[in-house]
Amino acid sequence: MDGRDLLEPDALRSFAVFAEHRNFTTAAAVLHISQPSLHVKIRKLSAALGAELYERDGRRLTLTAAGERLAAFALDSRRRADEFLRELHQDTAPTVTIAAGRGALRWVIAEPIRQIGRQGRRVHVITTNRDGALSALTAGQADLAVIAHDPPGRQVEAVQIAAYRQVLVIDDGHPLATRRQIRLRDIDGLDLVVPPVGRAHRRALDRALLDADVTWQVAAEVDGWDLLVHLVALGVGATIVNGCVEVPDGLRAVPIHGLPKIRYWAAWRPQRQSLVRDLLDQFGHRP
């Protein structure tokens, strides 16, 4: 028996469940089989494929690179089977799963999601950060990932779908609120509401302000464009966000000269291109 023989629905389903839980006891219970039986299935699968599928890290089980690829393949196979059954019984169009951050979902891709919903497509959303979105994509848990800043690696297909200038959000009574545009040096001395250390936007902002020799203070650290703006409305400080973010009454968004545009990318695995084609059309891109 070779690897092709073992890549049958039963073996794939067993490995997909194991990959989801990374625990033999839990996965065996979900599959309604004994734990030794699951061990045997995965050991045979590993031997037939000639690759280790998981490894132990203390008490934790982690998938190897081959295991991650097999898990994604298994999820793709299950999704295609579900889609076939829906089409066979003339059910609605298959669900598309999108992984993206809250800001992207609210201000960047809200209209495309609305449009494909009007076409009868169901949308499942995974709200996560850039790393989480790409992980969900490569693991086969998401059909499309929308990420900001740098494009993803070559392991997936990607296209730029939007680019926005960065703006300073301040109280409309602030002296800078009367400007049509400001420069980085105008921010010197401000208290800023910023994302936590380690976030992509925070890293880029720290670097740009340091290069411009701008002195500033952290007024607060929160995650998400909406919360950044909300704290400005509460009088905590100013903030820098994408120009697509809507600001409430009483605040002003002033474009900043000297900061790069923030670019958004839609990424997908080639195996899921047919499923995301309609959504990519809404972004103005036809694969």
Higher pLDDT, 220 or 198: 220
Number of Cα atoms under 13 Å in the Cβ half of residue 186: 21
Local confidence band at 267 (pLDDT 50, 70, 90 cut-offs): very high
- pLDDT of 239 above 70: yes
Show the 3-state SS of 158-201.
EEEEEEECEEEEEECCCHHHHCCCEEHHHHCCCEEEECCCCCHH
Look at residue 164 in the predicted model and tell me its pLDDT.
95
- pLDDT of 1 above 60: no
DSSP category for residue 250: T
Mean pLDDT within 256-279: 88
Question: What superfamily does domain 92-162+264-282 belong to in CATH?
Answer: Periplasmic binding protein-like II (3.40.190.10)
- By DSSP bridging, strand 96-100 and strand 123-127 are parallel
Mean pLDDT within 143-159: 89
Number of H helices, E strands in the chain: 11, 13
Cα(177)–Cα(150) distance, integer angstroms? 30
Express as a percent the part of the chain with pLDDT over 70: 90
- pLDDT of 29 above 70: yes
- pLDDT of 111 above 80: yes
- pLDDT of 279 above 90: no
Look at residue 271 in the predicted model and tell me its pLDDT.
79
Give how far Cα 236 sits from Cα of 173, 194, 251, Å: 14, 11, 13
- pLDDT of 71 above 90: no
Mean pLDDT of the chain: 86
From-to residues of CATH 3.40.190.10 in the chain: 92-162+264-282, 166-260
Dihedral (CA of 221, 225, 227, 232) sign: positive
Highest mean pLDDT: which of 35-44, 52-61, 145-154, 215-224? Answer: 215-224
Highest mean pLDDT: which of 75-89, 116-130, 137-151, 188-202? Answer: 188-202
From-to residues of CATH 1.10.10.10 in the chain: 3-67
The answer to whether the CB of 266 falls within 8 A of the CB of 146 is yes
Architecture of domain 3-67: Orthogonal Bundle (1.10)
Place of tokens 């966000």: 241
Among 142-156, 163-177, 184-198, 248-262, the minimum mean pLDDT is found in: 142-156
Look at residue 231 in the predicted model and tell me its pLDDT.
97
- The first and second tokens of residue 227, run together, are 């919360």
Mean pLDDT within 185-204: 93
Among 28-42, 187-201, 219-233, 246-260, the minimum mean pLDDT is found in: 28-42
Cα(156)–Cα(273) distance, integer angstroms? 11
The alpha carbon of residue 95 and the mean position of all alpha carbons in its chain are separated, in whole angstroms, by: 17
Local confidence band at 118 (pLDDT 50, 70, 90 cut-offs): confident
Q: May I ask the CATH class of domain 166-260?
A: alpha beta
DSSP category for residue 106: I
Look at residue 3 in the predicted model and tell me its pLDDT.
44
Comparing CA positions, the residue from 285, 286, 280, 287 lying closest to residue 112 is 280
- pLDDT of 6 above 60: no
Local confidence band at 82 (pLDDT 50, 70, 90 cut-offs): low
DSSP category for residue 95: P
Look at residue 92 in the predicted model and tell me its pLDDT.
58
Higher pLDDT, 105 or 276: 105
The answer to whether the CB of 202 falls within 8 A of the CB of 195 is yes
Mean pLDDT within 10-38: 86
Look at residue 198 in the predicted model and tell me its pLDDT.
87
- The first and second tokens of residue 44, run together, are 């045979």
- pLDDT of 252 above 50: yes
